[in-house]
Structure 1
Amino acid sequence: MNRRNFLLGSTFGAAAFSSPALFWSTATGAEPEPMEHGGSGRVREADVERIRQTVVMFRKLDRAQGGGDLRDTVVNHLNGVARTKLSGSYGDDVGRGLFRAVAELTELVGWLSFDSGRHALAQRYHIQALRLAQAADDRAYGAYVMANMACQAVYLGHGWEAVQLARAAQQGARGSLTHRGQALVLAMEARGHAALSDERACVEALSAAERSLDAADGDDDPAWCQYFDKAELIHEFAHCHRDLRLPRATQEFANEAIGLRTDGYTRRCAQDTTFMAAAHLEEGDLDQACAKASEALDIASRLNSSQCNDFLREFRTRLHPHEREPVVREFSERAEELYAGMAV
């Protein structure tokens, strides 16, 4: 990786995803290039497995704590792995596995950068992860990287680009996705449709995701998609219906997702609770809106997540027309106390 060129640029641009995504999804089915490399220090399969297990551990911490405090630790680990292992000595099989593992670590840094609000940097890590997945000839993981590109695009208001990225991910995967992986990618396509207020296309994508997840047995799922369970899919239903401004359905799906959650998914619980608060506000129920928002504050205060903070900031902005109401004043005072010194 050319670090100097990689770090150039300071702003997110949805169009920057287009070229690498198009190249990846339309590349010919030629035989992958050999991965042998001669360098200092022998890299073994056990070294590659340690990277994979480290990524699994970091992902669990991210879901429970948010990306803000974790990002720098993972960046340092990536820099050490990229510098020492990729420049080492390995044969074709180990080399391909090494590139897959480093692709996962790179994508994770991109995700953590996204959850830290560093969107331009997150974009560049995602693009680099896609290139590493391509070099490793792992088309399924490349589709996952593109799904996360789509997630970021939606978050920043680029619904059309998100739909195209999710569709390119499915095309480029060429049947290599498991049912669970396919469900994950379809859910990101649904988010894009919701951001564009296309309810019909959104429901179609969500229904297809549900069918795919129902067909999943988990036996052949790679580690990166094993988290995508029924609770995660219902969260996507809630997210999409929030963007479609359908408050009753948003409340039902968000409540169901919270009920299905196991321990360790703190960020998702904070998001779903905030979605419920926003839905109550959409219906004009200030008491329930502020009560749920207070619950979300309690959960989010245990995290360092720009995503959660942004959702709560948006909710507080929508409260402004009601700022003289006692329940709103009470909630706002509590929020300011909990987030003293934070931009929420």
Structure 2
Amino acid sequence: MPFEAREIDPAGSSRAQLGAEIRRLRTERGLSQAGLGRLIHCSADLVRRVETTERFPTQDFLVACDRALDAGGLLTALWPALSAERRRGGATTGAAVRLVAAESDMAVSAWLAGSGAGAGAVSESPSRDGDGLWVTEQDLAVAEGMLTMFRQLDHAHGPGTFAPQLVAYTERELALLLSRQAAHPAVACELARLASRFWELAGYQAVDAGQPGTAQRYYQRALQLADEAEDRCLGGYLVAVNLGHLALHCEHPHIAMRWAQAAETAVGTAASPSTRAAILAVQARAQARMGRESDSTGLLLRAEALVSSAEGVEEPEWIRYFTRAYLADEIAHCLHDLGRPSDTRVEAADALNGVGITHVRRLAIDTALVATSWLRSEDVEQACAVARDAVGYAARTSSGRCVQRIAVLLTELAPHARLACVADLYAYVEQVLSAALLAQPVTGDASAARS
């Protein structure tokens, strides 16, 4: 039986992106793994293990591959992101890296059918720990304060050391509250809703740490809790915005579209204007990723109208972040995918102007998007100038997404590596971003577990 090369999902991590690039370049040159190994004086097995993400490469390995494959700096440009991944405890492989669409399809179908236990079941069940303590509004206020703290830390610093702490708090403290009798049915509903939001944030941080499979499990748990809280709108948000964006992150726009459309149908007009706008924005992103400009534009126009109508409306706390600036971010990414760099810069500027200075990850990602748009406009010097700002923002966070965005940008700049501005940017990345990475502690085993 002929050997079949293991599939590499480049969206999974920087290490997966590197493996896919090495395999592509090697194949284009008609080289086997053994052939490349001979050129760089290593074994075929080492080449295989790096390609399939089973082993982290050394910087010397990247330099040798870059030279042997005549990659023009494309591979070595990924080194900062690879270093970040290793500092975070290693990129996950296997199930934790991949989105298993069938699992979430089942969860979404169950949610659409309304098969959750419901808040009544939570509130009326006897206390399982037998200590006689009731969950009160005061308990909810304490937990809400913790969620606010974790979210603010995430905005400013990325997941870093805080992600394991968030998961630990959710698995211990919130699980304890969920095991107790609620003082009132409304308290039971709010507790389930609050726990759902904790798991939503944990899922978002897992995406940032390069763990899509873990994020998927956390989002599905959040969806189950939203169902128990009988909060249809929060459930629709989780299906479309969280699971939908996860599908986009893993390069599955058709799946993202399917889930977002299901959510839109389920919540109808019962959801708030901002919630409906966020759901439509995911559909627009999916259509843009598939190159359907007319469909994407129509969805964005509907989303803009809804955001405008949200002014003065009392929105749920969890969607109040979705302002015109956040919609501008979604529009900018749509325009980028549709190959319209000049328009991308206009919307990205609106997004950046509306984002607070504490949202460092969003500043880094959108600034990197602007830099990429300049590169697509063939203005390499301006791209490097803006990229320098993006690197500065990325160096202030522990966000894997930020570092990977920078790595992708550096990869696209590789054909221009001989230009002074590009060489200066590479040196700046090595100096500033690498120094920030070295200062970050390892956050634990990555396999365990809004900008």
The one-letter code matched in structure 2 to 1:109 is: A
1:19 aligns with 2:112: no
Query: What secondary structure is seen at the aligned counterpart in 2 of 1:12?
Result: coil
TM-score by length of 2: 0.71
| Unpaired runs of at least 5, structure 1 | 1-7
What is the CA distance between 1:29 and its match in structure 2? 11
| Corresponding residue for residue 75 of structure 1 | 167
Distance 1:30 1:317, change over 3 A: closer
| Corresponding residue for residue 10 of structure 1 | 96
Distance 1:316 1:29, change over 3 A: closer
Q: Is the 8 A contact 2:280 2:303 kept in 1?
A: yes
CA distance in 2, matches of 1:56, 1:193: 33
The one-letter code matched in structure 2 to 1:27 is: G
Q: Is the 8 A contact 1:25 1:173 kept in 2?
A: no
Report the RMSD for the aligned CA atoms in angstroms. Answer: 2.1
After superposition, where does 1:1-344 map in structure 2 within 5 Å? 9-15=95-101, 16-27=103-114, 33-35=120-122, 36-39=124-127, 40=131, 41-90=133-182, 91-146=184-239, 147-340=241-434, 342=437
Distance 1:100 1:22, change over 3 A: same
Query: What secondary structure is seen at the aligned counterpart in 2 of 1:175?
Result: helix
CA distance in 2, matches of 1:99, 1:88: 12
What do the CA deviations read for 1:234-270 (whole angstroms, capped 9, x no partner)?
A: 1111111112221111111111221233332221111
Q: Is the 8 A contact 1:180 1:218 kept in 2?
A: no
| Corresponding residue for residue 4 of structure 1 | none
The one-letter code matched in structure 1 to 2:196 is: A
Distance 1:237 1:78, change over 3 A: same
Distance 1:167 1:218, change over 3 A: farther
What do the CA deviations read for 1:62-93 (whole angstroms, capped 9, x no partner)?
A: 22222233211211110122331011122432
CA distance in 2, matches of 1:72, 1:141: 24
Q: Is the 8 A contact 2:99 2:212 kept in 1?
A: no
The one-letter code matched in structure 1 to 2:365 is: Q
The one-letter code matched in structure 2 to 1:12 is: R
What do the CA deviations read for 1:166-197 (whole angstroms, capped 9, x no partner)?
A: 11111222433100111111111111111111
Aligned residues: 336
CA distance in 1, matches of 2:297, 2:143: 38
What do the CA deviations read for 1:275-326 (whole angstroms, capped 9, x no partner)?
A: 1100111111110000000010011111111111121111111111111111
CA distance in 2, matches of 1:227, 1:310: 24
Q: Is the 8 A contact 1:12 1:123 kept in 2?
A: no
Query: What secondary structure is seen at the aligned counterpart in 2 of 1:78?
Result: helix
Distance 1:12 1:29, change over 3 A: closer
Distance 1:209 1:64, change over 3 A: same
Structure 1 range deviating more: 131-140 or 34-43? 34-43
Larger RCO of the pair (alpha carbons < 8 Å, separation 6+): 2
Q: Is the 8 A contact 1:37 1:95 kept in 2?
A: no
Distance 1:52 1:237, change over 3 A: same
What is the CA distance between 1:9 and its match in structure 2? 4.6
Q: Is the 8 A contact 2:117 2:227 kept in 1?
A: no
The one-letter code matched in structure 2 to 1:38 is: P
Distance 1:29 1:320, change over 3 A: closer
What do the CA deviations read for 1:187-245 (whole angstroms, capped 9, x no partner)?
A: 11111111111111111111111010000035421111011111111111111111222
The one-letter code matched in structure 1 to 2:147 is: V
Query: What secondary structure is seen at the aligned counterpart in 1 of 2:134?
Result: coil
| Unpaired runs of at least 5, structure 2 | 1-93, 439-451
| Corresponding residue for residue 5 of structure 1 | none
Q: Is the 8 A contact 2:384 2:425 kept in 1?
A: yes
Q: Is the 8 A contact 2:329 2:366 kept in 1?
A: yes
Say which one has the larger Rg.
2
Distance 1:319 1:31, change over 3 A: closer
Tell me which stretches of 4 or more aligned residues in structure 1 moved more than 6 Å: 28-32
CA distance in 1, matches of 2:282, 2:372: 21
Q: Is the 8 A contact 2:281 2:303 kept in 1?
A: yes
CA distance in 2, matches of 1:174, 1:255: 32
Distance 1:31 1:149, change over 3 A: closer
CA distance in 1, matches of 2:318, 2:244: 16
The one-letter code matched in structure 2 to 1:10 is: A
